[in-house]
Amino acid sequence: MSVARWCAGHGWPVHPLAPGRKTPAGNCADCRDRHHDPRTCPCLPAGRPCHGFHAGTTDLRRIEKWWTDSPRSGVGVACGPADLIVIDVDAHSAPVPDRSRLLPGIPIHESVNLTGLASGFDTLALLAAFRGQPAPAEDESTLRVRTPSGGLHIWYRNPDPQTRYRSSAGSSPKVALAWQVDVRAEGGYIVAPTTRTTQGVYEALGSARMPAPLPPWLAAELARTGHVVPPEPPPTPLRPPVPLARPVVPGARRARRPKAAHRILAPLVDEVARCEATREGAGFTEKLNRAAFTAGGLVAAGHLQEDAVRELLTAAAHRARPWQGSRNEKIIHDGLAAGAARPLHPEGRS
């Protein structure tokens, strides 16, 4: 509770994480069984911590109630409303991809020796060296948090709140800063330091306890790699109606069909959740990838909201395989990205 209060005191909205885990506490029974947009959910104005980072608050009364009811809950910080950009450096054991995929948009010449490159620490240092800048992982001017898996969270403050940045995964083929380097910003959350999970503690390094302003060169890299959220278009001014000849429309635009889309996605998500009953041999990875791929296509076609389906998939995956949170997130990230390349409409499907 003291950590949650400290974060809220700096204007960072917080929400509970499930005890011993780095993922949000589960939704209430009504929200678990009913697909809906978190923005219209009655739980949030009523003070119930449903829908993960959407419940983030700085209200000390809510914070006191939430952590009194569940004192072992960890603390998540909603990055977007907090004006935070956190560089999440992973150190997972994974095959190193081709050099063309290490730094999206930057070709790495064959003469560059990449022997020993194995993690996000290496690719982020490589990006910094390419730009002639110090490695962010060594930035002692800002809050840095070592994760239980050996990764690092590098916290920065957005010095220009008019510019919004989107979250991304380092494995994404569409928007990524570097291989094994995730970005936590709009539409995401970060685990607060001192949070304890079954794998260990999120531990602050060095003496800095506050985020420094995002370095200009990193802001430029985020813009270059597509992390800047486009500004909302200005409202169209009202004009008196003018009688016009009916235009010839080249093709009818498909209407959004969230109910039909959920009829397609729900059975696939249920298959993922049912893997809880079988620890091995249930085809969990294939089922989660299939559900994420389908969800990505439905999102790309405009029938579902990405944040909502990502949360739905994450909840089902962590219910079935709670011990592999990072792997679950990677499968979901990759599946959504792949599905986004093939928009899916419910027409003709059951």
Flag whether pLDDT at 251 surpasses 50: no
Selection from 56, 79, 69 nearest residue 4 by Cα: 56
Give buried/exposed letters for 252-263 (b at 16+ CB in 10 A, else e): eeeeebbebbbe
Task: Quote the pLDDT of residue 19.
Answer: 93
For 30-64, how does the pLDDT look when each residue is reduced to its tens digit (9 = 90+)?
Answer: 777 777 777 777 877 887 787 788 888 999 999 99
CB-CB contact of 28 with 19 (8 Å):
no
Instruction: Tell me which of 158-167, 217-226, 247-256 is least confident.
Output: 247-256
Give the chain's mean pLDDT: 87
For 84-143, how does the pLDDT look when each residue is reduced to its tens digit (9 = 90+)?
Answer: 999 999 988 888 889 989 999 999 999 989 999 999 999 999 999 999 999 999 999 999
Q: What would the DSSP string read from start to end of 171-184?
A: T-SSS-SBTTEEEE
Taking the C-alpha atoms of residue 93 and residue 327, their distance in angstroms, rounded to an integer, is: 11
Taking the C-alpha atoms of residue 22 and residue 74, their distance in angstroms, rounded to an integer, is: 7
Flag whether pLDDT at 255 surpasses 50: no
Taking the C-alpha atoms of residue 47 and residue 61, their distance in angstroms, rounded to an integer, is: 10
* Domains of the chain, residue spans: 2-78, 84-224, 258-340
For 203-221, how does the pLDDT look when each residue is reduced to its tens digit (9 = 90+)?
Answer: 999 999 999 999 999 999 9
- CATH number for the domain formed by residue range(s) 84-224: 3.30.2250
**Both structure tokens of 65:** 């109630």
Instruction: Report which residue type is found at 201.
Output: V
Task: Quote the pLDDT of residue 241.
Answer: 57
Task: Quote the pLDDT of residue 49.
Answer: 82
What Cα–Cα distance (Å) separates residue 208 from each residue in 127, 154, 248, 259?
24, 11, 62, 48
Residue 197: strand pairing partners? 20, 200
Task: Quote the pLDDT of residue 235.
Answer: 65
Higher pLDDT, 76 or 307: 76
For 307-341, how does the pLDDT look when each residue is reduced to its tens digit (9 = 90+)?
Answer: 888 989 998 888 888 878 878 888 898 888 888 88
Taking the C-alpha atoms of residue 28 and residue 96, their distance in angstroms, rounded to an integer, is: 40
Task: Quote the pLDDT of residue 237.
Answer: 66
Task: Quote the pLDDT of residue 14.
Answer: 95
pLDDT range class, residue 248, cuts 50, 70, 90: very low
Task: Quote the pLDDT of residue 239.
Answer: 62
**Both structure tokens of 114:** 């990449």
DSSP helix/strand/coil, 2: helix
Flag whether pLDDT at 156 surpasses 70: yes
**Both structure tokens of 83:** 């004006």
Flag whether pLDDT at 250 surpasses 70: no
Q: What is the mean pLDDT of residues 171-178?
A: 86
